[in-house]
Structure 1
């Protein structure tokens, strides 16, 4: 596995199985799908950026790569995907075994092409601001937006729309006085109405449609009229801040038993229409800041009357959510419009109640948008996350735009689809499968927005013919090539190519060889993404039973045991932790939706689908670190037995970081020992988990929520909910060493493994 993990550092690729069986029948017996996790903008220290365009195969259009066979005398290269022989162009005439172009070097499996003649229009950031919030919240939001405008690149175009009962499109190019155009929130505002009402088409340009995809050329919209609403950040800072200074909460009165009239859906439709009229085909983002649910017009999720609660999971399952499916249909239509235009929907939802994330999810995910969920616009999670969005360099997200992702693979494979932040372009090719998982039936996908952490999960079908062993030595390898064409944050178009190879396992009886290529972390994440998709798309799907059956089948096929003897059961090292991952996945927020709102569940699943394997593993099985006087900080088992009176525990669940103090530590801290010179070691012990938590939070987006709690306090539930309940109120033995118990009827991991071994070993 070390070689495969090294490949991840270079290419951003991890696979469930790094050695694949040679037939579809044998692949099905592996239980875990043949899947690949890929980060299109993975940060590699060895990445080469080439100042010229790629060389393509004339047959399958794949790019020149290190696995091509080269005839240096005849100046011919052979494509590993279709075996087509291609002549090198004149620019490669000096090629030789000692003078290789960069893309043929063995270590350059991932390269990026950045021709100098591909300049594009500057990116657009359209801010969409909810004014139906209390004055204090609006103050926090205005401060955050002021900080954001300072961090934007000077050339980036900026627009502003505010909404509540009405929609206000602000004319930032008119700096003399604040000027805005008003639309009714209860009305469906089309792109044509936006063009007409804002006066984007004048008599000279009306009906003119020049050729090309340049900002403002469609629908006869002139650059002069565009500059009234979308202004470079360097020029509009004064007018933008002036509008914010004068911005007040929605003036329409709200009765005590009513919700505020908030037209989120209509405002999003107006924002999409404005970008579609002004900058079609150019990179743009709609950054939406929402403080409550939509109660008016398009995308409505709840009525204004407070006596009607927001939908729960039970309401959705029973079909009792009045506005749920209607709202989802609206956002699906909106997502298609945004994908066609190449624009992104980002959501910053800050409220103690739900805001409709479950309904908006489809538009955010298909456009590759980002989401931040917090309790308030003044909460550190929001304030630090919004800064990370716009920061440049290593600290920032590295926002990129308008991408297209393409897959090419060996003829023995077909791609079934992708789970992740993308939308199908319905480009069905020779390597697209009839079996669809996620966004399928295509070999190309739209990535309207992508960043450094964007991860795609690709599912493949093995269609290799049943071949005799004697034939396999000639076709031992199979290949993938992932090509991402995108608008770089540096204002030019780039193309990144990653070419990956793996090996077939010719002997289907050689289970040990298959196991040697098994990646249990990637497999756990792929199963989590797959079960989340099935829970959303398959009616009456029993997630726990599906996971249990898959785990039993896997352990039956790949375990070492004597039939009907559970005590003899064991798993190879590459499989040993996988049952533990499945145990924690069964108990996680991705499968157990009880005690979570539909908004929270949608948020968790969106983050699971777009984050890297290492981050996703932490979401499934949190990490736990123990701090004590007796030893340096060390990993601890995710078990209630890890709690001790003289320990501090640091739990990392990705979404939340918990610092938990044992009772003895709490007493010493309350006595103030950490402030006395002779007890500096204790002060250092208290500070160590704080420092580690800050370091973890700096790597995260959205920034994790920090919870500092003491043993037996109410917030200790954040830790206890994630621990294996090896000691409960029903246990025969008591608590030792100042530990704790968990009040639950859930089975412990030990009992889970006993049942698994029994079922896997039975004949």
Structure 2
């Protein structure tokens, strides 16, 4: 797969099919859809940033690129998408074969433009929305994390603070003499107009009779805005003193009830306030929630403790009374935030569920970050929050206000995007009838995006038969162009253009070419996003059956075998790991909801939907590295056979990093051998996996949970649950000395493969 990784390091794109099926029927037979996983802001060290505006085709608005055909004599370029002839403007007069502008260089298929005219840079805005219905200890953890975050904020950024419990408190940070706050009732729905009225925005200047009230230029006085949003450099003292004095919600909670927590009302107030003060600017609502919402339109459970919070079973049986109302509310909130261009980030610190499953729609459509931890004192929360603001080597590169557009050859249509964006409903000839994810559009809003944000684009081949495909264009190339217009973290507006070309193949004899261009990692990730999407949107969907059926079809189409002879079955190396990915995907937390709450499942899927291929593959099939005295650290199969008494294993499953000590190693460590000078080698062996685990944790967001455990210990389950159960309590295979068995009725990969071969050759 090395060449696909090289392609990604040039353009940030991975495609399951790098040679495309040329007709609709062929692409249906390929099972895995024609698709691409694209990371719009992937950093490229030598990518030029051009200080002028791009040249656009006058028909389809695509940007001049290395695939355009250029006539240097006539000073004309032909667009590869719609074949329109365009004249070069006068300032391109000197171009020739040996004097090309950067955008025509063949190696610059990805390039950025930063036009000087638009550089009215706006400061970033952070609105902290803080839950106060939490115990004193959690409150202390949260206060200390927030004051650290405030210290790390860029000086120019604007900051606001809202706290909520039974009531919503909007703090006036610009009023420095004494702490001052506006209070709203948590159970009431407050409109934007009521909010502005109540917070005396129109005391000195009457309210305009017509038009929208949005920002300083539309009738809000700048001084009324600066009461609530204050530059970080000026409000540090006011903000810290409010945070220091922050108390647990004072309203008494009866013993048989949950606290009254109005999360939805607080978020609605935050969204309306930002919509009035700073519309269209890069603003983030950062919500810190410590428990389930019980009040207001987004409540997920009633206050009575004896009523349990909804589970997956309740959602399946449609017996979760609050669920649909809450989702409908957050759907409305997501539309409001997308319209304003603002992001909702969610930081949840609770053992209980807080409503991530309901909030998912608003966080995902605005491209927000999400972190789920057991407590605000847990390193998963604390380190992730620091990571958001620290611009160290692992800078997230937070950018805002993006618009993503796509252009492609006329025989390809776009079904939609699965990922953190919202459809702008820009209909046109590019849009397919079939909609997957955010569809019926060729443009999407990305309110928040960062260096790692990756979109999964699903295409449809529109050509009916192969004869007209071959005769019409001798070139048999399909072209794609991805345009991302966004506000860079420096405040400047930029446009990044990525243009790709892929060969297509049609008719008999195309199978070998398709196999040669198959990227099995990208294919596994596309299938994982698709199966998660279908589980959430299709009522009677059976994920295991769908995955198995797809895998059998792929194997019977692309495998080598004699009919009805399973022993003759073999797969090309290009496809040989794909069944293994599917085996682990069937067992993963994206498909198996048993033992996970709806919040956890929603969290896992949100992260899967925004990460690139390399990270997503680790979520589907974790990596396992073995450390021993006899050899250097080496990757081993994700199998129970990897466990040995004299080995240390390091499992990286993306959300959790496990360091697992074999029984003998654990005994020696407990006896303190590593502290004795003559056992320096043992001390190094213990240190190596810890150092590697720290390196993984440092560069990942959200920060994974670190589990350090011993063989036969209670936490060993974090490792055992991910391993292929080749030796179980019921199998004949006895574990080797010092090894382990797994107590499960799951089938092992060998049995899975046997069944697959039997079915594929039929």
Task: Report matched runs for 1:154-169 at 5 Å.
Answer: 154-169=155-170
- Segments of 5+ residues of structure 1 without an aligned counterpart are none
2:746 corresponds to which residue? Answer: 746
Deviations 1:562-590 (A, max 9, x none): 11110111000110000000000000111
Task: Report matched runs for 1:512-523 at 5 Å.
Answer: 512-523=512-523
2:8 corresponds to which residue? Answer: 8
Alpha carbons of 1:48 and 1:694: their partners in 2 closer, same or farther (altered >3 Å)?
same
Task: Report matched runs for 1:432-443 at 5 Å.
Answer: 432-443=431-442
Contact 2:353 2:599 (8 Å CA) reproduced: yes
Deviations 1:339-373 (A, max 9, x none): 11111110000000100100000000011101000
Contact 1:534 1:541 (8 Å CA) reproduced: yes
Task: Kindly tell me the number of residue pairs found equivalent between the two proteins.
Answer: 760
Displacement of 1:508: 3.8
Task: State the distance in 1 between where 2:155 and 2:338 align.
Answer: 26
Task: Report matched runs for 1:465-614 at 5 Å.
Answer: 465-468=464-467, 471=471, 474-614=474-614
Displacement of 1:510: 2.3
Q: Is 1:117 matched up with 2:82?
A: no
Contact 1:658 1:707 (8 Å CA) reproduced: yes
Task: State the distance in 2 between where 1:704 and 1:36 align.
Answer: 27
Task: Report matched runs for 1:351-500 at 5 Å.
Answer: 351-468=350-467, 471=471, 474-500=474-500
More moved, 685-694 vs 148-157: 148-157
Task: State the distance in 1 between where 2:754 and 2:3 align.
Answer: 34
1:665 corresponds to which residue? Answer: 665
Task: State the distance in 1 between where 2:599 and 2:642 align.
Answer: 32
Displacement of 1:470: 5.5
Contact 1:209 1:217 (8 Å CA) reproduced: no
Q: Is 1:649 matched up with 2:649?
A: yes
Task: State the distance in 2 between where 1:79 and 1:272 align.
Answer: 42
Q: What secondary structure does 1:709 align onto? A: strand
Deviations 1:230-273 (A, max 9, x none): 01111111111010011111000111111111000000110011
Displacement of 1:217: 2.6
Task: State the distance in 2 between where 1:734 and 1:69 align.
Answer: 66
Structure 1's consecutive aligned runs of 4 or more residues displaced over 4 angstroms after TM superposition are 208-211
Q: Is 1:236 matched up with 2:240?
A: no
Displacement of 1:167: 0.5
Q: What secondary structure does 2:116 align onto? A: coil
Displacement of 1:202: 3.5
More moved, 462-471 vs 563-572: 462-471
1:49 corresponds to which residue? Answer: 49
Contact 2:23 2:506 (8 Å CA) reproduced: no
Task: State the distance in 2 between where 1:6 and 1:721 align.
Answer: 33
2:324 corresponds to which residue? Answer: 325
1:256 corresponds to which residue? Answer: 255
Contact 1:345 1:369 (8 Å CA) reproduced: yes
Contact 1:472 1:506 (8 Å CA) reproduced: no
Displacement of 1:472: 6.5
Task: State the distance in 2 between where 1:479 and 1:43 align.
Answer: 23
1:720 corresponds to which residue? Answer: 720
2:286 corresponds to which residue? Answer: 287
Alpha carbons of 1:101 and 1:387: their partners in 2 closer, same or farther (altered >3 Å)?
same
2:689 corresponds to which residue? Answer: 689
Task: State the distance in 2 between where 1:376 and 1:396 align.
Answer: 24
CA RMSD of aligned residues (A): 1.3
Contact 1:21 1:508 (8 Å CA) reproduced: no
Alpha carbons of 1:538 and 1:658: their partners in 2 closer, same or farther (altered >3 Å)?
same
Displacement of 1:710: 0.2
- Segments of 5+ residues of structure 2 without an aligned counterpart are none
Displacement of 1:194: 1.2
Displacement of 1:407: 0.5
Deviations 1:250-307 (A, max 9, x none): 0001111111110000001100110011111111110000000001112000111111
Displacement of 1:190: 1.4
1:338 corresponds to which residue? Answer: 337
Task: State the distance in 2 between where 1:139 and 1:52 align.
Answer: 50
Task: State the distance in 1 between where 2:518 and 2:128 align.
Answer: 45
Contact 1:10 1:46 (8 Å CA) reproduced: no
Q: TM-score, normalised by structure 1?
A: 0.98
Alpha carbons of 1:246 and 1:280: their partners in 2 closer, same or farther (altered >3 Å)?
same
Task: State the distance in 2 between where 1:508 and 1:237 align.
Answer: 69
More moved, 88-97 vs 355-364: 88-97
Contact 1:216 1:280 (8 Å CA) reproduced: no
Task: State the distance in 2 between where 1:607 and 1:193 align.
Answer: 36
Displacement of 1:5: 2.4
Q: Is 1:274 matched up with 2:291?
A: no
Deviations 1:359-409 (A, max 9, x none): 000000011101000011110010100001111253221111111100000
Contact 1:95 1:101 (8 Å CA) reproduced: yes
Contact 1:161 1:169 (8 Å CA) reproduced: yes
Q: What secondary structure does 2:739 align onto? A: coil
Task: State the distance in 1 between where 2:743 and 2:678 align.
Answer: 40
1:207 corresponds to which residue? Answer: 208
1:680 corresponds to which residue? Answer: 680
Contact 1:214 1:281 (8 Å CA) reproduced: no
Task: State the distance in 2 between where 1:632 and 1:723 align.
Answer: 22
More moved, 386-395 vs 735-744: 386-395
Contact 2:416 2:437 (8 Å CA) reproduced: yes
Contact 2:520 2:578 (8 Å CA) reproduced: yes
1:189 corresponds to which residue? Answer: 190
Task: State the distance in 2 between where 1:452 and 1:345 align.
Answer: 18
Contact 2:287 2:346 (8 Å CA) reproduced: yes
Task: State the distance in 1 between where 2:584 and 2:197 align.
Answer: 55
Contact 2:348 2:373 (8 Å CA) reproduced: yes
Displacement of 1:46: 2.3
1:28 corresponds to which residue? Answer: 28
Deviations 1:144-170 (A, max 9, x none): 111111111111110000000010000
Contact 1:626 1:636 (8 Å CA) reproduced: yes
1:101 corresponds to which residue? Answer: 101
More moved, 731-740 vs 504-513: 504-513
Task: State the distance in 1 between where 2:490 and 2:224 align.
Answer: 26
Contact 1:480 1:500 (8 Å CA) reproduced: yes
Alpha carbons of 1:210 and 1:72: their partners in 2 closer, same or farther (altered >3 Å)?
farther
Contact 1:210 1:217 (8 Å CA) reproduced: no
